[in-house]
Amino acid sequence: MFRVDTQGKTASKNYVIRVHDQPAGIAAAAWNALLGEQASATPFMRHEYLTALHESGSATAETGWRPQFLSVCEGDTLVAACPLYIKDHSYGEYVFDWAWADAYRRHGLDYYPKLLAAVPFTPVPGPRLLARTADSRLALLSGMQQLATQAGLSSAHLLFLDEADSVAAREAGWMMRTTVQFHWTNREPTPYADFGDFLSSLQREKRKKIQQERRRVTDAGVSFDALRAGEISDDDWDFFYRCYTLTYQAHRSTPYLTRDFFHRMALTMPECWLMFVARRDGARIASSLIGIDTVRGAAFGRYWGATEPVNCLHFEACYYQPLAWCIANGFRRFEGGAQGEHKMARGLLPVQTQSAHWLAHPQFAQAVADFLKREGAGVEQYVDELNDRRPFKAA
């Protein structure tokens, strides 16, 4: 526990910051109440989600994610909090700093461990600093810097943050970094009537390619079921998890998430999941899992896998089925996850995402700041080039 004064800005505030070695150290109701006050809240910042990551063994000290959650209290009232981890690697983050770590190593310095405010394995933009006021948000940032300094850590990082967090990070003097994702948004002011209406808005060659890809899946005898909440049985979850692990095996990798994590999601957040199950001749052959936020009309592409190869099945399970569902259910947005320029041909457009970084070493901080300035200019140019190749018909 320590007190914080954000360079005089909160001198009149009697903030007390506590460090918690597990999400359960902060009351779920108080955490979720803070989350509910954030304009860009997502289900992935809910206490249940973060707790499941920890208690399922997915994000723990043993897997390189040592929780150090911060809470900011004014008296007995929780006014701010954030998910914070000490990391000894950069896996599962999706904002890549391997080159920074290598530069430290080549100069005989340790980049790891570092401090990270993020949702493990979840590159979904949203609030990371849950705060009621600008002052308490700055207190979290100051607390992160103090914690990193006291623990002798190289740096502190804040990933996939929203606009309020970005403003606070800039004010606190953190370095900003821009990356690119691809999101689909429904038409405004008149939403698409159905998937065919959406296709009619695309350029002819893009429309024909999607129709051809979908036809290949249909001609292979594959059909889909869309399952929600109580419709998803334990057997469905087991089959999905088998598919999920097969995707990692195909890339000679190890799954980040345990089966117990999804068991906890089915128990504590069933309303936040949509599962597509592909069948051929009655047998299940593939599955994809989509996160959904019915309050904000947003969906998030997450995980998929298949037990046998079918041409274009990935596109159908991960894009076309979810987009058709979003249109049919009046959703406003579908986020396709990290990276993936190929998503543009399917109607997802580039969106810039933000992260913030603080490095303790002055010379390295300056070097990274120079790098980020050059990289940022390149990202701006890249986004301009992508927007010149938008798949939609000219207005």
Question: Tokens in use for 35?
Answer: 């989350």
pTM of the model: 0.95
Delineate the domains of the chain, giving CATH numbers in brackets: 2-180+352-387 (3.40.630.30), 187-331 (3.40.630.30)
Task: Count the Cβ atoms, other than its own, within 10 Å of residue 235.
Answer: 9
What is the structure's pLDDT at 10?
39
Interval 340-369: pLDDT, tens: 899 999 999 999 999 999 999 999 999 999
Reply yes or no on whether the pLDDT at 32 is more than 50.
Answer: yes
Reply yes or no on whether the pLDDT at 12 is more than 80.
Answer: no
Contact 27, 35 (CB under 8 A): no
Q: Which residues contact 260 (CB under 8 A, 6 or more apart)?
A: 55, 56, 57
Reply yes or no on whether the pLDDT at 8 is more than 80.
Answer: no
Confidence of residue 301 (pLDDT cuts 50, 70, 90): very high
Residue with structure tokens 């593939």? Answer: 286
Reply yes or no on whether the pLDDT at 172 is more than 90.
Answer: yes
d(CA 308, CA 284): 10
Reply yes or no on whether the pLDDT at 204 is more than 60.
Answer: yes
Interval 278-291: pLDDT, tens: 999 999 999 999 99
Pairing of strands 333-338, 298-306: parallel
d(CA 174, CA 360): 11
